[in-house]
Amino acid sequence: MNKKNILFSGFMLFSLFFGAGNLIFPPYLGLESGSFFVAAIAGFILTAIFLPFLAIISVSLSNNGLLSIGQRVHPIFGLAFAIVIYMSIGAFYGIPRASNVAYELGFMQIFSIEGRLPLLLFSVIFFGLTYLISINPKKVIDLVGQLLTPALLIVLAVLFVQAFLTFSYTDAPTAEKYQTDPFLNGFLEGYFTMDAVAALAFGIVIINGLKDKGATRKKDLVRGTVSAGLIAAVGLTIVYLSLGWIGRVLPHDEPLENGAEILVLASQQLFGYGGNVLFGTIVILACLTTCVGLTNACARFFNETFPKFSYEKYVLVFIIIGMFFTNLGLDLILQVATPLLVFIYPISIVLVILSLFQHFFGESKKMYVFSVSIATLFAFYEVLITFNIGLTKLNSILTLLPLYENGLGWTVPTLLAAVIGYILDRKRGKVVYRNKF
């Protein structure tokens, strides 16, 4: 396995995860957590980096990525769930969200113009670049890993170094929610990045990229993917710590409402108008690499699953859909996507954890069916709540569950269901042990 290919695969994976959403979460956490910054950022790193890293490992250990993971519940469920994942993180949400953020936080910061026509022109150029980079899947790692990611890291480094030389650490007020349990609230902030879902798609991008570079044995693919995951995890940890630290120490007189405002103000204080250009460049590069990765992942999945159309045609389809939703505006995209993401996230996490568990302790059919069924019921109820449809009596019972108020009420019942399913299959000799590689 060529170490250079693994390094650039790790760079690519870093840039796939590091979209605009990940850019603005840590600074606001740093601002709000104040004196409890260390505990809060530790919780954030656990779910924003470690959980997606586990998802990358689970995909690498599976024969056919996300599709085979879901098929352990049922073949139809596996196919349907994979399609929902790719469409939700891809054309219907992830791609248009990234391009919209690139426009609002990137392009508009540099040129200070807005409106329907500038958005349309920007989306044509942005998606034109996405198409040109994505059209040749065998060169995606080279273009993103060797060119775009280093460019992104360079402009980030300029911001971080200047911030560290300029800002000084002082006592800072702490938001109420971080005063009581900073680690848990940081944990939840990382949880809400939804990167564990994206990792299910990004993992197969890296695997396919390594295959294109000549890796054929599963052992090499697993080791290469895990190594790339480690490189991305280290890079993300450094970047998140730096962004969080900027939010923690940034001097400001007016209240700041989100991470974007923090970074804009920091860039302006450090570089004047040039700070707007720097911040805008960071956002556009981060969003472009994310869009390329999502387009590549979605097109390759549908091409392999439904090979009637070529990879290039699927790329074009996702580019057109993404451009269409981009021009509907970010607010509408978020409104439509929120219920879908709320539904798929618990199920995705359960599948990731079970995939890792079975690698060491054996595969249990009931373990998958029982736990995913419980997670699905909770996820469906959470969707109802997003539409302000709640059952009062049921809700009063569910509030007794640990972490229910934090949106994690599904965790304990799902864990119990998985344990019961595994024990039942174990007693009946139905736990299947497979070769590790």
Based on the fold, state whether residues 231 and 355 are members of the same structural domain: no
Q: What is the pLDDT of residue 140?
A: 73
Q: Is 201 contained in some domain?
A: yes
* Whether residue 352 is found in the same domain as residue 320: no
Instruction: Say if 236 falls within a structural domain.
Output: yes
Q: Provide the domain count of the chain.
A: 2
* Residue 25 belongs to a domain: yes
Residues 304 and 362 in one domain: no
Question: CB–CB of 278/148 below 8 Å?
Answer: no
Q: Which of 145, 243, 147, 231 minimizes the C-alpha distance to 190?
A: 243
Same domain, 82 and 164: yes
Distance in angstroms (rounded) separating the CA atoms of residues 67 and 63: 9
Q: Is 251 left (phi over 0), alpha (psi -120 to 50) or beta?
A: beta
Based on the domain organization, do 347 and 239 belong to the same domain?
Answer: no
32: closest CA among 247, 239, 183? Answer: 247
C-alpha–C-alpha distance, residues 153 and 238, integer Å: 11
pTM of the model: 0.84
Q: Which of 299, 328, 357 is the last residue of a domain?
A: 328
Q: What is the DSSP letter of 405?
A: G
What pLDDT is recorded for position 436?
A: 55
Shared-domain flag, residues 45 and 75: yes
Enumerate residue ranges in the chain where pLDDT < 50.
Answer: none
pLDDT of residue 87: 86
Q: Is residue 334 part of a domain?
A: no
Beta bridge partners, 432, equal 363
> For residue 333, is it within any domain?
no
Structural domain containing residue 319: 3-328
Instruction: From 275, 303, 328, give the residue that closes a domain.
Output: 328
SS (H, E, C) 105-130: HHHHHHHCCCCHHHHHHHHHHHHHHH
Residue 83 lies in a domain: yes
pLDDT at 318: 93
Please check whether residues 404 and 313 belong to one and the same domain. no
Q: Is the dihedral of CA 248, 251, 253, 257 positive or negative?
A: negative
**290 and 322 housed in the same domain:** yes
End-to-end Cα distance, the chain: 16
Tokens at residue 78, please? 């596996």
Same domain, 100 and 194: yes
- Alpha carbon separation from 383 to 25, 45, 86, 338, 391 (Å, rounded): 23, 26, 19, 9, 12
CA distance 403 to 226: 31
Q: Single out the residue in 304, 328, 352 at which a domain terminates.
A: 328
| 3-state SS assignment for residue 167 | coil
Q: Are residues 254 and 377 in the same domain?
A: no
Burial of 356-378, coded b for 16+ CB within 10 Å and e otherwise, reads ebbbeebbbbbbbbbbbebbbeb
- If asked whether residues 61 and 203 sit together in one domain, one would say yes
322 and 408 part of one domain:
no
**Collapsed DSSP state (helix, strand, coil) of residue 30:** helix
Q: What is the pLDDT of residue 319?
A: 94
